[in-house]
Structures are given as structure tokens and as C-alpha cells.
Homo-oligomer: A and B are copies of this chain.
Amino acid sequence: MEKKSATEISTLGEFGLIERLTSRLARRNTSTIMGAGDDAAIVDLGEEVMLISTDMMTEGIDFDLSYFPLKHLGYKAIVRGVNDILAMNARPEQVVVALGISAKITVEALDALYEGMEFASGELGVDIVGGDTTASMNGLVITITAIGRAKKGDVVYRSGAKEHDLICITSNLGAAYMGLHLLEREKRVLKGVDNPEPQFEGYGYLLERYLKPRAKANILDALRSEGIRPTSMIDLSDGLASDLRQICRASECGARIYLERIPIARQTTQLAEEMHIDPVIAALNGGEDHELLFTVPLEMQEKVVQLGLIDIIGHITRPEAGVILVTPDGEGIALKAQAFDR
């Protein structure tokens, strides 16, 4: 290839990169309702729409096989894939799986991977309907493409948040991030040790949140049955700060979230302190939570609280107010975008 200029991708950031790449894409089919820019793409089926999202995980970046059991990895891959459909308030129905298989992967390893994928599919009610395998020179690669359906009016976009809406999350944050840190620490400490015995005691919850995150389809069902329709929604994969900024950007609004209201699990705080990490940073920027971040109209407050499944952490403001974290002493800190990491 010609090398007129060579710009490193990090200079654009992930969102800048995606914007650059997708800005020139034409739309040729009337069935294409919406292209890139939300958790999933949307295809018109008449009264219904079909939602499609794709998610790639590569070895060494998204997982380390030295401590990630393949069964869990399969489970997590499906949850990650399906979450993007749930985040549009749609019902996931099918997934297709593309695998890049490195030479060290055995048939038994793939059995375990598929066992985990099928187990997650059973829990989430989706069917694995097809796939592709290719060889990979360097490490396992997994691409999950998930397909879902919804009535046209039921789809929730990132762009629907309105001033005064409440900002909600489906679980405590930062636990998966600390689980990853724990696994990395034990790997480092035990490097070269025969019969290594990693010290995970007291931190089982963190490992589970990282290795086997649960999709929150049940919370969407609960919202629906209570007549609560989110105004905007996103999968919490890059961290609260980044994902909230995505909602604010798409909805052209600002937000105020309150530090005291952000739920952080006891184990998260404990390990963070042990490892000299600020637990708030873990919760705001850790990523991989795979929970849902959504907004609801202010008048739904009581209903949402009564469900007992959801934390309200703040509210939507006018765009000029920015995206602000309010500390316990009332100080407002602007939430920054993260550097490109995936």
C-alpha cells in the first residue's frame, strides 16, 4: 500500500474512528432504517423491525486464556452479543458465531466454548443458527452477531433522553474491572511457580462479574410489565462515564450523576483499596460491566423505585450543563472521554 501519511488510530479515538469510517457510507435499501451509531443496526420489516449487532473479541485484548475458562468465555461472548439487542429494548432471537481458531485450540476446548455459548443461549432464549470457522495464526477470535426483533414503536435508541429524565443502572459498577485486576495480579505473582494456587478468597463475586456477566433481560421484562418505557438506553460496556456521554451526545443533552448514588459492591471497594485503585475510577471507567444504562421520565420515579431492581443515579440536564459527576460535598466534576482502548 502507498504510505502517503500514517495516522495512528489512537489520535482519533474509537468514536472518532467509527465516525470517520462510517460517514461516507451510502444507504441503498429502503429496508435500512438506521445504520451505525447505536447498539444495533435496524432493518425495516413493516410493523416490526429486525435489529442486528456484531461484537468481536480477540485473545490477548478481550480475554486471556491462561485464566479464562473456555466455557465461561463462550457464555460471556453470547451475553455480550445479546446485550446490544437488549439495549435497544428488543427481544434477541438468533445469533451466528464466527471463530478464528489458533493451532493450540483443541476439539475439547471448542466443545467447552460451545457448551458455554449454548448454556447462555438457553438462559436468554436465543438460537445459535450458524457460523463460520477459519484458522487464525495468532490467538482465538470470536465474533458474535446477534439478531433480535421488536415492534417499531418499542425500540429504544440512545437518542431519546430528555431533560429531567432519571438516569438508571441495573447493578453496581466496577466489579468486573476489579475481577480482571485480581486475575491479572495472581497471574503476575504466580508466574513461573509450579502448581500455582491463586488467592481469590473473598472475591468470588468479582470473578463472576468479569468471567460470567449476566444479561439483564429480566429487568426489561419487569419494566415492560410495569408500563415503564425507557426514553434512551445503552449497554454499559466501556464504563459509565463513556457510555453516559454516548447517551448525552446522541440525545443532545447533559447529565448530572451523584457519586453517592453510584452503587459499588463491598468486594469492589475492598479489593480496590488493597490494590491502591480508586473504586470510583473502577466504577466510572472500568468497563465490561455489561449492565444497562437507561433513562426514564421523571414521573416514573416511584414505579422504578418499587421494582427494587434499579438504581437511580442522577438526571438529564440541558446540553450546555455538560456531563457532570457531583461529589458528596456538592462539587461538580466534568466527566471526560476515555482514551481509545478497544
Please list the residues of chain A having a beta carbon within 8 angstroms of any beta carbon in chain B.
1, 3-9, 11-12, 14, 17-18, 20-22, 24-29, 31-32, 34-37, 40-43, 45, 50, 52-62, 65, 69-70, 93-94, 96-101, 105-112, 114, 118, 121-122, 125-139, 141, 143, 145, 147, 149, 341-342
Q: Is the CB of A18 within 8 A of B137?
A: no
Given A25-B114, A60-B137, 9 more A-B residue pairs with CB atoms under 8 Å apart are: A18-B131, A22-B131, A42-B129, A53-B96, A55-B132, A58-B100, A61-B135, A135-B341, A145-B145
Q: Would you give 22 A-B contacts (Cβ < 8 Å), ordered by A? A: A5-B108, A6-B106, A7-B106, A8-B106, A17-B107, A22-B131, A24-B114, A25-B114, A28-B126, A31-B93, A37-B130, A52-B96, A53-B132, A54-B96, A55-B98, A56-B132, A58-B135, A61-B136, A98-B143, A133-B342, A138-B138, A141-B141
- CB-contact partner of A94 in B41, B69, B109, B136, under 8 A: B41
- Min Cβ gap A179→B in Å is 18
Q: Is the CB of B59 within 8 A of A137?
A: yes
Q: Is the CB of B28 within 8 A of A114?
A: no
- Min Cβ gap A70→B in Å is 6
Residues of B within 8 A of A1 (CB): 65, 69-70, 109, 112
Instruction: Answer whether A60 and B138 are a contact pair too, CB < 8 Å, given A18-B133, A93-B29, A96-B52.
Output: yes
Q: Is the CB of B52 within 8 A of A94?
A: yes
Please, how many angstroms separate the alpha-carbon atoms of A169 and B259 in the complex?
A: 65
Instruction: Answer whether A133 and B14 are a contact pair too, CB < 8 Å, given A69-B1, A106-B7.
Output: yes
Residues of B within 8 A of A141 (CB): 56, 58, 100, 136, 141
- CB-contact partner of A342 in B4, B60, B125, B135, under 8 A: B135
- Min Cβ gap A339→B in Å is 12
Instruction: Answer whether A93 and B9 are a contact pair too, CB < 8 Å, given A17-B133, A129-B35, A143-B56.
Output: no
Q: Is the CB of B6 within 8 A of A110?
A: no
Q: Is the CB of B43 within 8 A of A45?
A: no
Residues of B within 8 A of A134 (CB): 56-58, 61-62, 342
Residues of B within 8 A of A96 (CB): 41, 52-54, 145
Instruction: Answer whether A94 and B43 are a contact pair too, CB < 8 Å, given A6-B106, A52-B145, A54-B143.
Output: yes
- CB-contact partner of A52 in B109, B121, B129, under 8 A: B129
Residues of B within 8 A of A149 (CB): 31
Q: Is the CB of B36 within 8 A of A131?
A: yes
Residues of B within 8 A of A53 (CB): 96, 130, 132
Q: Is the CB of B20 within 8 A of A128?
A: no
Q: Is the CB of A54 within 8 A of B9?
A: no
Q: Is the CB of A118 within 8 A of B25?
A: yes
Residues of B within 8 A of A32 (CB): 93-94, 127, 129
Please, how many angstroms separate the alpha-carbon atoms of A121 and B24 in the complex?
A: 12
